[in-house]
Amino acid sequence: MLSLAPRAVFHPRGVDPQTAARFGWPPVTRMGRSVYIDRLNGLTIPKPGRPHVPPTLKQQAAVITEKLEDICKRAGIQPECLKDIIIRVRPKEDISALSGAYRILFDFLGNKVDEADWRLERFPGPKNELIQFEATAKVPEAACEPAAEIRKAA
């Protein structure tokens, strides 16, 4: 007997609408003639039948900065008080964008960062691998909100 529960199925233009709605992800928006940008992950998704165009550092910067600012606004905190930021990047071939994301992250936090660390984890998916890039920045204690509050807001 077939199950009627929604499944995570990856379509050529991103995640299917049921899964996106279930996780509260925004829809994919059109960028240019042949390239779509997934606003959740900040990477380009090729239109069916067109060659893949890798994201530029400028596109990465725009999406990551927007995501960080949104986290700050929802948490009601100053950007320099962020302690744990998780940026997810998919699929596997866009792993080179992570070095750019890492630089942008610390440009955004400025010189408030005392110590930093990052790691990559792979999670198997239906057709792609989801690569999670986790950057943890330790910030001086100067009246910053606890990290738990930030995670809740994200």
pLDDT digits (tens, 9 = 90+) for 85-126: 444 444 444 444 555 555 555 555 544 444 444 444 444 444
49: left (phi over 0), alpha (psi -120 to 50) or beta: left
pLDDT digits (tens, 9 = 90+) for 66-86: 666 665 566 565 555 544 444
What's the CA gap between 80 and 153, in Å, rounded? Answer: 16
Q: Which residue in 130, 63, 61 sits closest to 94, CA to CA? A: 130
pLDDT digits (tens, 9 = 90+) for 8-21: 444 445 555 666 66
pLDDT digits (tens, 9 = 90+) for 30-70: 443 333 444 444 444 444 555 555 555 556 556 666 666 66
The domain limits of the chain are: 10-153
Sign, CA torsion 14/89/146/139? negative
Confidence of residue 5 (pLDDT cuts 50, 70, 90): very low
Segments in 54-130 forming alpha helices (H): 57-75, 97-109
Give the predicted TM-score (pTM) of the model: 0.25
